[in-house]
Amino acid sequence: MTALTPDILTTESYMAQQRNAVYNNGEDDLDRDAFLQLFTAQLKSQNPLDPMKNEAFVAQLAQFSSVEGIKGMQASLETLVSNLRTDSLLTGSSLVGKKVAIDGGVGSGGGGGVTETVVSLPKDADSLILSVYSGSDGSLVYREEIGALEAGEHRFGWPGRDANGNQMPKGEYRFTSSAIIDGKLVATPTSVLSEVASVTWNPNNQQLDLQLRDGSSVSLDGIRTISN
Q: For residues 225 and 121, which has the higher predicted lDDT (pLDDT)?
A: 121
For the chain, the domains span 11-93, 99-227
Q: What is the pLDDT of residue 96?
A: 82
Q: What is the pLDDT of residue 211?
A: 82
CA dihedral 150, 155, 157, 162 (to 10 degrees): 50
Give the residue-averaged pLDDT of 38-58: 63
Q: What is the mean pLDDT of the chain?
A: 76
Amino acid at site 105: G
Residues 6+ apart with CB under 8 A from 134: 141, 171, 173, 174
pLDDT digits (tens, 9 = 90+) for 148-168: 999 999 999 999 999 999 999
Could you give phi then psi for residue 106, rounded to 5 degrees? -115, 135
Residue 5 clears pLDDT 50, i.e. is over it:
no
Which residues lie across from 115 on neighbouring strands?
158
pLDDT digits (tens, 9 = 90+) for 171-209: 999 999 999 999 999 999 998 888 888 878 777 766 778
Q: Give the pLDDT band of residue 141 (cuts 50, 70, 90).
A: very high
182-187's contacts with Cβ under 8 Å and 24+ in sequence apart are 182/123, 183/126
Residue 98: CB atoms within 10 Å = 14
Could you give the CA distance from residue 187 to residue 200 in angstroms, rounded to a whole number? 34
Q: What is the pLDDT of residue 68?
A: 63
Whether pTM > 0.85 for this model: the answer is no
Q: Which CATH entry fits the domain spanning 99-227: 3.30.70.260, 1.10.10.10, 3.30.1330.60, 2.60.40.4070? A: 2.60.40.4070
